[in-house]
């Protein structure tokens, strides 16, 4: 299942895009992005584009930058404050997004090295800052959106997740379910369950790294087949797969 992301004015959001991410009705005012993730093939020498749409009657300043992934939570690493330097830049880093208009953001690589045998993942962070001063006791609100950026070196195809899903294997030890990923891609679950016991959405934010493993906590009493779905390049769920 796939949804556009709408960032509503009135609260501070850290929106981590997932295949089943909650979204608001399409008539809702706010800033929206019609993608759940950005794929950056190495061959795109001019970079890739992400478009922000402002469906509100007010203009906003959009501040955009790249941040790392927290390996413990799978969310944005909030402890990062500029070091190490990220291997991508967003231009323009600060721009005005007019009411009922759109803004194209360009993501480009810099000279920082990245692995050439596997995918790399980061977050594109975008903060929407009101341009008008509040009246009286009105509260000033900011909105932050975080969208995953996947960098694919030459040799990795642009559309691969659905084909990689059957390659995952699983093992159980006590309350730990461990997923093993033999592929060069970062894999994100939209659903992972043992029998009738499914992991909740915060747990699913933990991605399975390329050529690596990721463990998930389940009730020790959970039993039955492991079933899973991944989030593909367009934000859709892959077909359900099972392992005994």
pLDDT at 159 over 50: yes
pLDDT digit string (tens) for 100-119?
Answer: 999 999 999 999 999 999 99
pLDDT at 158 over 70: yes
Judge if pTM exceeds 0.75.
yes
pLDDT at 28 over 70: no
Q: Does domain 161-243 have CATH number 2.60.40.10?
A: yes
| DSSP per position, 19-44 | TT-----TTS-SEEES-SEEEEETT-
Domain with CATH 2.60.40.10 in the chain: 5-152, 161-243
Task: Pick the more confident residue, 9 or 204.
Answer: 204
pLDDT at 9 over 50: no
Q: What is the CATH code for 5-152?
A: 2.60.40.10
| DSSP per position, the chain | ----EEE-TTS--EEE--TT-----TTS-SEEES-SEEEEETT-TT-EEEEEEE-SSS-EEEEEEEE-B-TTTSSB-TT-SS-SPPSEEEESSEEEE-TT-EEEEEEEE-S----SSS-EEEEEEEEEEESSPPPTTPPP--EEEEEEEEEE-TTS-SS-HHHHGGG-EEEEETTEEEEEE-SSS-B-EEEEEETTEE--HHHHTSPBPTTEEEEEE--TT--S-EEEEEB-TTSPBPPPEEE-
């Amino acid at each position: 299942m796939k949804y556009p992301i709408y960032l509503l004015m009135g609260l501070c959001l850290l929106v981590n895009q997932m295949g089943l991410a909650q979204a608001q009705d399409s008539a809702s005012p706010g800033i929206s992005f019609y993608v759940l993730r950005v794929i950056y093939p190495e061959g795109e020498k001019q970079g890739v584009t992400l478009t922000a749409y402002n469906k509100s009657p007010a203009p906003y300043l959009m501040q955009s930058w790249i941040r790392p992934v927290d390996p413990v939570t799978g969310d944005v690493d909030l402890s990062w404050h500029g070091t190490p330097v990220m291997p991508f830049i967003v231009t323009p880093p600060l721009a005005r997004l007019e009411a009922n208009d759109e803004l194209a953001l360009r993501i480009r690589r810099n000279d920082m090295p990245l692995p050439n045998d596997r995918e790399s993942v980061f977050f594109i962070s975008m903060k929407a800052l009101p341009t008008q001063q509040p009246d009286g006791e009105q509260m000033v609100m900011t909105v932050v959106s975080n969208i995953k950026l996947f960098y694919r070196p030459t040799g990795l195809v642009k559309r691969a997740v659905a084909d990689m899903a059957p390659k995952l294997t699983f093992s159980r030890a006590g309350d730990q379910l461990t997923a093993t990923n033999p592929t060069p891609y970062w894999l994100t679950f939209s659903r992972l369950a043992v029998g009738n016991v499914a992991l909740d959405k915060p747990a699913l934010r933990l991605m399975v790294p390329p050529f690596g493993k990721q463990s998930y906590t389940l009730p020790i009493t959970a039993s039955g087949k492991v079933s899973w779905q991944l989030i593909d390049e367009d934000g859709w769920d892959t077909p359900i797969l099972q392992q005994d």
